[in-house]
Amino acid sequence: MSTVAAGELLATQELSAYYGSRQAVADVTIAFRRKAVTALIGPSGCGKTTLLRCLNRIHEINFDARVQGSVLLDGQDIYGGDMDPMAIRRRIGMVFQRPNPFPTLSILDNAIACAPKGLNRRGKLEAAERALRSAALWDEVKDKLKTSPLRLSGGQQQRLCIARAVAAQPEVLLMDEPTASLDPIATAVIEELMSSLCKEFTIVAVTHNMQQAARVSSVTAFMLADETGIGRLIEADDTGKLFTKPSDRRTEDYISGRFG
C-alpha cells in the first residue's frame, strides 16, 4: 500500500465519513498523483462516492453527514477551521454520475455558470468557447448556444457538465462514474476526454468498470466494504501493477471476478 507521498496536490489522512451514526468510510489514507487519473474501483456500496464527496466537502451538504480525519490540498487541511468550503469547491471541481446541467440556463450560461463575475458579453463568449472546447463539445453546440441543455444527448450533457467544471479553472477534477448512464460511443468520447484533461488537472474518477479503470487511469485504488459494511481502502498502486500483481488477496479476488 502506498503511503502519503510528499508533494502531491491532494491527499487524505485517516479519512472517515459518516451518515449520522452510520459509518460509510473508514481510515482512508491516500495521495492522488498530480496531473494523472486515479481510478477508484470497488463493488457497489463500498463507499467510493462517499469518499469522493469528502474530497470537495460536498459530503457535508447531506443532512447529518460528518467527517473525521483530514484532506490535504497543497498541504492544507480543507476541513481546517478557517477554510471556506465554497473556495475549496472552486479549486476542486466535480462531475456527477448522471449529467446534471442546470435546466433553466442556456448551454452558454451553463458553461460559464461559475466563471468570474463582471465579464462582458465577449468575455463570456470566449470563456464559454474555451470551456466547451476543452470538453470537446464546442463544434457540436456552437450554433445553439442559446438553447436549453435538456435537448442535448446524455453524452453531450455530461460533456457540458465537464465544461462547466473546467470553466472554474480548478486544480482537481472529481468524477463519479461519469459514464455510468451513457452508451458505449458516448463513453468512449468521455474516456478520451479524460486522457486529455489529465494533462492539465489532477483527476480522481470513480468507476465500477475495471476495463475503464485500466484504459484511462495511471493509478488505481481498490476499495471494499468490510463485514460491517464500512468501506476501506484495500490498496492503491500503478494501474498496470494492480491489475497484474495485486498485493492483497481481496484485490485479486475482485479483479478476477470472484465477487462483485
Ligand X SMILES: Nc1ncnc2c1ncn2[C@@H]1O[C@H](COP(=O)(O)OP(=O)(O)O)[C@@H](O)[C@H]1O
The residues binding ligand X (CB under 6 A) are: 19, 22, 24, 42, 44-50, 62, 229, 231
Interface residue with other proteins among 19, 34, 102, 119 (CB under 8 A) is 102
The least distance separating ligand X from the CB of residue 110, rounded to whole angstroms, comes to 25
Q: Is residue 4 involved in binding other proteins (CB under 8 A)? A: no
H or E element, residue 214: helix 210-216
- H helices of 56-105, in order, are 85-91
Q: Contact region for other proteins (CB under 8 A) — 61-69, 213-221, 223-231, 245-253?
A: 61-69
Q: Is 49 among the residues that bind Mg ion (CB under 5 A)?
A: yes
Mind spelling out the 3-state secondary structure of 118-168? CCCHHHHHHHHHHHHHHCCCHHHHCCCCCCCHHHCCHHHHHHHHHHHHHHC
Say which entry of ligand X, other proteins, Mg ion, none residue 19 contacts (CB below 5 to 8 A, set by partner kind). Answer: ligand X
How many Cα atoms are found within 13 Å in the side-chain-facing hemisphere of 169? 5
Question: What kind and span of H or E run contains 31?
Answer: strand 22-32
Q: Which does 113 bind (CB under 5 to 8 A by kind): ligand X, other proteins, Mg ion, none?
A: other proteins
Residue 84 contacts which entry, other proteins, Mg ion, ligand X, none (Cβ below 5-8 A, type-dependent):
other proteins
Which is nearest to 54 in space by CA: 16, 98, 27, 3? 16
Chain positions contacting Mg ion, by CB under 5 A: 49
